[in-house]
């Protein structure tokens, strides 16, 4: 009987060893799995940091391009404003010249010698000749202010 009890305890010892071996194997497997998980997490974090760096770089480039474009836009707007002002001045000149031409064509002031006179007795033909000359615009710079 003693041999049966010793063989029974030998079986339980071998089951304990098997269980202990499985436990160690599971622990090693869990450690390896945790290590791989930490590596994946670190790689993901590194990828996100690289993406962040790239996006910051692109954002800086876009901001610089926006600044240049904004400056160009402001320059074009200023130029358009000047051109609109010049257009209004030229339209006013054209209207005045058309009014003068209308008066001349109506036949008023002709003394028969081919010249048209205004109230100041200046020949209109001379004034019409000046219409082909460029008009100077007075500016503040001309007077040294």
- pLDDT band at residue 11 under the 50/70/90 scheme: confident
Q: Specify the pLDDT at position 106.
A: 86
User: Using one digit for the tens of pLDDT, what is the confidence trace for 105-143?
Assistant: 887 555 555 555 555 555 555 555 555 555 555 555 555
Instruction: Give the span between the Cα atoms of 91 and 70, in whole angstroms.
Output: 31
Under DSSP, the state recorded for 145 is -
Q: Specify the pLDDT at position 4.
A: 46
**Is 70 strand, coil or helix?**
helix
CB 51 within 8 A of CB 57: no
CB 117 within 8 A of CB 123: yes
User: Using one digit for the tens of pLDDT, what is the confidence trace for 25-77?
Assistant: 999 999 999 999 999 999 999 999 999 999 999 999 999 999 999 999 999 99
Rounded to 10 degrees, the C-alpha dihedral 92/93/95/101 comes to 170
**pLDDT for residue 16 is more than 70:** yes
CB 128 within 8 A of CB 104: yes
- Phi-psi category of 139—alpha, beta or left, where left has phi over 0 and alpha has psi -120 to 50? beta
What tokens were used for 95? 């209207």
Q: Specify the pLDDT at position 131.
A: 52
Instruction: Give the span between the Cα atoms of 117 and 107, in whole angstroms.
Output: 11
With a threshold of 0.85, does the pTM exceed it? no
**pLDDT for residue 92 is more than 50:** yes
Instruction: Give the span between the Cα atoms of 8 and 47, in whole angstroms.
Output: 58
């Amino acid at each position: 009987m003693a041999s049966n009890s010793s063989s029974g305890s030998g079986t339980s010892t071998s089951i304990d060893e098997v269980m202990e071996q499985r436990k160690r194997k599971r622990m090693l497997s869990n450690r390896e799995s945790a290590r791989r998980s930490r590596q994946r997490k670190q790689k993901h974090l590194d990828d996100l940091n690289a993406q962040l760096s790239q996006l910051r770089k692109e954002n800086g480039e876009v901001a610089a391009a926006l600044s240049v474009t904004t400056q160009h836009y402001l320059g074009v707007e200023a130029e358009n404003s000047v051109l609109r002002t010049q257009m209004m001045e030229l339209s006013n000149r054209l209207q005045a010249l058309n009014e003068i031409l209308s008066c001349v064509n109506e036949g008023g002031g002709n003394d028969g010698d081919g010249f048209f006179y205004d109230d100041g007795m200046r020949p209109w033909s001379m004034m019409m000749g000046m219409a082909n000359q460029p008009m100077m615009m007075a500016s503040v710079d001309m007077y040294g202010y």
